[in-house]
Chains A and B, each alone.
Chain A
Amino acid sequence: MTTPRPETLAKLTPVLTKRWLSPDAWRIGTYEKLDGYAALRKALRAHPDDLIQLIKDSGLRGRGGAGFPTGLKWGFIPQGDGKPHYLVVNADEGEPGTCKDLPLMTHDPHSLVEGVIIASYAIRANRAYIYIRGEAVHAARRLRNAVQEAYARGYLGKNVLGSGFDLDLVVHSGAGAYICGEETALLDSLEGFRGQPRLRPPFPATHGLYASPTVVNNVGTIASVPYIVLGGADWWKSMGTEKSSGPMIYSLSGRVANPGQYECSMGVTLRELLELAGGMQPGHTLKFWTPGGSSTPLLTAEHLDVPLDFESVAAAGSILGTTATQIFSDQDCPVYATYRWLEFYHHESCGKCTPCREGNYWMVRVYRRILAGQGTHEDLDTLLDTCDNILGRSFCGLGDGATSSVTSSLTYFKQDYLDYIEGRTAPKLSDKQLVGAH
């Protein structure tokens, strides 16, 4: 493996991932030795409004995919309204390709717990929940252990560190529904209902959990807070770009030599990430990739130099999303890849709105037909037409996301579709898998 060039190596910014190298960082004793809970002590001496301003100044944007400014979100919580406030951490990581929050919660759970306490203090919440994906059992073990340890040391519970601030934190396991990563569906699920998205407005900032003001933030967002409190907004902005500040954990998977987690300054390019990851696997040439999970439109080898920050990826016609870069090569078929993602969206559609529920159901069937060598040219029009009826007409982002890979693969790889339809590519699915497709 060739060593990456110094200017590429300089893009690495080990901040949130730094403690993962210490095998016992999940224990409170080790965590405390590594700056742990220092940010909390510092934050409790500050006025909550100053903390909100600090997060605003840092330019921190949500790490869950949408990139909403975190400080602004906290500022939306009405103060002095006499209602209880809630902080809910969205740890329902499930976007295909995304694998950054699980290692963080497994190897450094206290950084999330500490972030929760500081954020709750800032928005004046006395109850916080971490809604963790059900399947993430080992991360949940470590997180529950961390919460217990934090209670025992007086970081949680009544009168946190003698500050007069009370906070209770519950780790709540989900039960295997991707839709619960959507914030209002998550709130419904946390209230004990089916996880289906809510109509907005009203927004969670005024009518969230139990119809009270609620902040819902991603794991990476909240885990960033202690570092900003310690190092300050200017230090945080020394990483990333002007509008997308800070470090970001890029998750490389697929046909690369060394897949894994690479925490880099925001705005790193795929070319640089590939250099860090030792290039493509031998015998593979980059064909298509997702910048941030399967709900973000595919990009191609043309886009190797697009800075992976919120603005630049949007300008390239995609979405930064969760920075889950799934990398596919000339040996992978974009039609089949899209079909598998659609099977996912079809399975995970909550059924609340018709465009998503029916649209994904039918698109899966059209794909099966194409992949079985029985597609027609009209099928491609049908797919685009269906996408038109889902995008912007669904109740939440799940339906919109489902269309991303369909429309982008048809834009960049129409020939691959035509090759199935016109018989140049051997069918990938057999007739028996076609039952019900017509």
Chain B
Amino acid sequence: MTVFTEETRARAREIIARYPADRSRSALLPLLHLVQAEEGYVSPAGVEFCAEVLGLNKAQVGAVATFYTMYKRRPTGDYLVSVCTNTMCNVLGGQEVYDTLAEHLGVGHDETSADGRITLEHAECLAACDYGPVMTVNYDFFDGVDPQTAVGVVDELRAGGRPMPTRGARLCTLKEMSVQLAGFADEREGAVADGGPGEPTLRGLRLAQQHGISVPGFDPNTPIKRRDAGEKPAPATPATAAPGVKTPVDGAPPAPRDAKAAEAAGVAANAPAGDGKPAGDDAGAQERSLKEASASARSELASPAVASERGAEQ
């Protein structure tokens, strides 16, 4: 367990403090990103580290780590190149981009080039279909790629360069990216400001701007209706309410009534889940944990830190 530095432990404590004190398990996903930041993948030592700081066993952590695609189970290169081969990018040429890169690098899906620089993967939809076909390097976008530009990007990466993504911030290594995924700010000067919107993002807006179109009738001082009928704006208002949405006609307070009915229905119909998930805890524990959590978020050193030190002693 020597691989994880005191800095990583301090970060782990910081992550745990974001969540309610007796809900520290919520910190597991960010913690897995954190150990990946240290080693480039989630190693057995990384699993052990997470288990130790959260008071879980290694099987519980391993079961979670192996479920999620972004946790890599083998050492990765400095740059993770993901090519979208889902339907839209695929038909627009993403499959050729992936096939070309696989041949050029001599690797398959989830494999790392011989020089240890680049890990290649084919990805499912990366939520940039209007820019397709897309690929990402450490999850920052290169839009509208073709096989030649993609090969150009990886060659530059292998030669030690850092090509600028089409959108998103200047590149960092996969390990540095994993620190951000664990929930820490991007500390690089100006990185948050990088990457303006591309044309597809703005197309509808530009059209509206060109033709002087805006939505009429917007008045930011429109009053919020109060339930005590005192200041009814216009008698026509209730009649125009969308069907399916209950509108009070008598000025009685509707929200509490809805809430009461919902609660009654909920209590009657909803026995707590019985599938082994942490449902149905008593309310007292919840309140207590919230109080402790807000206290610990302020004082930084709280019970999770104690737990991790206890773990370290073992």
Seen from chain A, the residues whose Cβ lies within 8 Å of a Cβ on chain B are 4, 6, 9-10, 12-15, 17-18, 20-21, 23, 26, 35, 38-39, 42-43, 46-47, 49-54, 56-57, 59, 69, 71-72, 75-79, 81-84, 93-99, 101-103, 106-107, 126-127, 133-138, 140-142, 144-145, 148, 166, 168, 170-178, 188-195, 198-199, 201-203, 205-207, 210-212, 229-232, 234-235, 237-239, 242-243, 245, 247, 250-254, 258-264, 276-277, 294, 324, 326, 328, 332, 336-337, 340-341, 344, 347-348, 350
Contacts and interface: CB of A to CB of B under 8 A. Distances in A.
B27 A261 contact: no
A contact patch SS:
mixed
B275 A199 contact: yes
B129 A175 contact: no
A4 B192 CA distance: 36
A83 B286 contact: yes
Contacts of A332: 91
Contact of A9 (B27, B129, B207): B207
Nearest to B212: A9
A260 B204 contact: yes
Contacts of A176: 68-71
Counting chain A CB atoms within 10 Å of each CB, the highest count among B129, B201, B242, B290 belongs to B242
Contact of A96 (B87, B130, B216, B254): B87
B224 A49 contact: no
A193 B185 contact: no
Contact of A175 (B54, B71, B194): B71
Contact of A348 (B124, B254, B297): B124
Interface stretch (B2-10, B112-120, B243-251, B306-314): B243-251
Contacts of A242: 242-243
Contact of A12 (B85, B123, B207, B277): B207
A81 B266 CA distance: 12
A207 B205 contact: no
A254 B263 contact: no
Interface in B22-37: 23, 25-30, 32-33
A207 B247 contact: no
A23 B290 contact: no
A56 B129 CA distance: 33
Interface in B156-198: 167-169, 177, 180-183, 185-186, 191-192, 194-197
B124 A260 contact: no
Contacts of A99: 127-130
Contact of A210 (B204, B247, B278): B278
Counting chain A CB atoms within 10 Å of each CB, the highest count among B29, B272, B275 belongs to B29
Contacts, number: 387
Counting chain A CB atoms within 10 Å of each CB, the highest count among B28, B126, B215 belongs to B215
Interface of B: 18-20, 23, 25-30, 32-33, 54, 63-64, 67-71, 82, 85-88, 90-92, 123-132, 136, 138-141, 167-169, 177, 180-183, 185-186, 191-192, 194-197, 199-209, 211, 213-220, 222-227, 237, 240-247, 253-256, 258-260, 262-263, 266-267, 269-273, 275, 277-281, 283, 286-287, 290, 294, 297
Contacts of A94: 124-125, 127
A166 B294 CA distance: 10
Given A170-B18, A230-B220, A134 B253 contact: no
Contacts of B64: 192-194
B124 A243 contact: no
A14 B224 contact: no
Nearest to A189: B29
B306 to A, nearest CB: 19
22 contacts: A14-B209, A17-B205, A53-B225, A59-B242, A76-B258, A78-B262, A95-B125, A96-B125, A138-B195, A173-B30, A176-B70, A177-B68, A189-B29, A191-B277, A202-B271, A202-B273, A203-B266, A231-B217, A252-B130, A260-B203, A326-B88, A344-B87
A21 B87 contact: no
A103 B205 CA distance: 13
A177 B201 CA distance: 25
Contacts of B218: 230-231, 235
